[in-house]
Amino acid sequence: MEKVSVSEVLTNNYTVQVATTEHLHLAEAICHEMEESAKARGTGIAKRSPEYLRDKIKEGKAIVATDDAGDFIGFCYVETWEHGKFVANSGLIVKPEWRKYGIAKAVKMRAFELSRTNYPDAKIIGITTSLAVMKINSELGYEPTTFSELPVNDAFWNGCKSCVNYDVLTRTDRKHCLCTGMIFDPEWEKNKAKRESEAIKEKQEEHEPWNFLKDVNVLERLKSIKEKMFLKMQAKRAERQAV
């Protein structure tokens, strides 16, 4: 099996796509795997019912990876808060026997594309303790952030209630927990593109040969200042000679 790094993947081994009604029957198996993984990690996970996952699939807000037999091997879904101001690609799961082959990366990339297409102005956020997820998010352009930058409404934080560390979050007034907050801000991206093009322009100018015509106005002014100074000096000399 080869490692992959592209968002839409169709190999001999598996397919990654936006889930359709054909995938509704996979919801139970996905939920089961989410719970088993949470137990194995000793942490919590935003607990979701098969019904909730089926709704996400019906709304076209879920990404699924399936093997050649059509069985689920990876999954995640898109959630929104504060009227689409914030979007998260949550509930990422890959079946244990399929891990470390780039499936999470492919699923997250597809979810990211879907989120950018449907909510181009939204901030894409996530909280995680998973190094794999941090790596994937960083590659997608997320940056670490404080919890104060994340949605303020209860609906977002309610997802943490099933986590074993929930008391840490409540004790700190939702300021800190074991998870790292990450955010992709489309505004940064716009500014980044602008900064990059300015930096390229500056670099090009540094290497450009001196353009005499471009600086001609400055030179003209310099010349006229020098001429005035020279004339003043001559006038003073003539005054001194006359005395």
Ligand X SMILES: CC(C)(COP(=O)(O)OP(=O)(O)OC[C@H]1O[C@@H](n2cnc3c(N)ncnc32)[C@H](O)[C@@H]1OP(=O)(O)O)[C@@H](O)C(=O)NCCC(=O)NCCS
- Go through 130-162 and write b for each residue having 16 or more CB atoms within 10 A of its CB, e for each that does not: beebbebbeebebeebebeebbeeeebbebbee
Nearer to ligand X, 79 or 222 (CB): 79
| Residue 94 makes contact with ligand X by CB under 6 A | yes
Q: How far apart are CA 241 and CA 243, in angstroms?
A: 5
| Residue 163 makes contact with ligand X by CB under 6 A | no
| Residue 135 makes contact with ligand X by CB under 6 A | yes
Nearer to ligand X, 81 or 201 (CB): 81
Q: Which of 101, 112, 142, 184 binds ligand X (CB under 6 A)?
A: 101
Q: By CB under 6 A, which span of 18-26, 97-105, 182-190, 214-222 interacts with ligand X?
A: 97-105
> In the structure, how many helices (H) and strands (E) does the chain have?
8, 7
126 - beta bridge partners? 182
| Residue 92 makes contact with ligand X by CB under 6 A | yes
- 215-to-212, 218, 219, 221 alpha-carbon distances in Å: 5, 6, 6, 10
Residues between 18 and 37 with contacts to ligand X, criterion CB under 6 A: 37
Q: How far apart are CA 30 and CA 105, in angstroms?
A: 18
| Nearest distance, CB of residue 106 and ligand X, angstroms | 7
Nearer to ligand X, 184 or 219 (CB): 184
| Residue 236 makes contact with ligand X by CB under 6 A | no
Q: Which class for 14: exposed (0-12), middle (13-18), buried (19 or more C-beta within 10 A)?
A: buried
Longest CA pairwise span in the chain (Å): 111
Alpha helices of the chain — where are they, by DSSP H? 27-41, 50-58, 103-118, 131-140, 154-158, 166-171, 186-207, 216-242
| Nearest distance, CB of residue 127 and ligand X, angstroms | 8
Cα angle 74, 111, 181 (rounded to 5 degrees) comes to: 95
Q: Which of 103, 122, 124, 150 binds ligand X (CB under 6 A)?
A: 103
Q: Which of 109, 133, 160, 169 binds ligand X (CB under 6 A)?
A: 133
| Residue 39 makes contact with ligand X by CB under 6 A | no
| Residue 156 makes contact with ligand X by CB under 6 A | no
Nearer to ligand X, 25 or 135 (CB): 135
Nearer to ligand X, 57 or 65 (CB): 65
Q: By CB under 6 A, which span of 19-27, 131-139, 161-169, 186-194 interacts with ligand X?
A: 131-139
| Residue 118 makes contact with ligand X by CB under 6 A | no
Phi, psi of 207 (to 5 degrees): -90, -5
| Residue 105 makes contact with ligand X by CB under 6 A | yes
The answer to whether the beta carbons of residues 173 and 214 sit under 8 Å apart is no
Interface contacts to ligand X, rule CB under 6 A: 37, 92-94, 99-105, 128, 130-133, 135-136
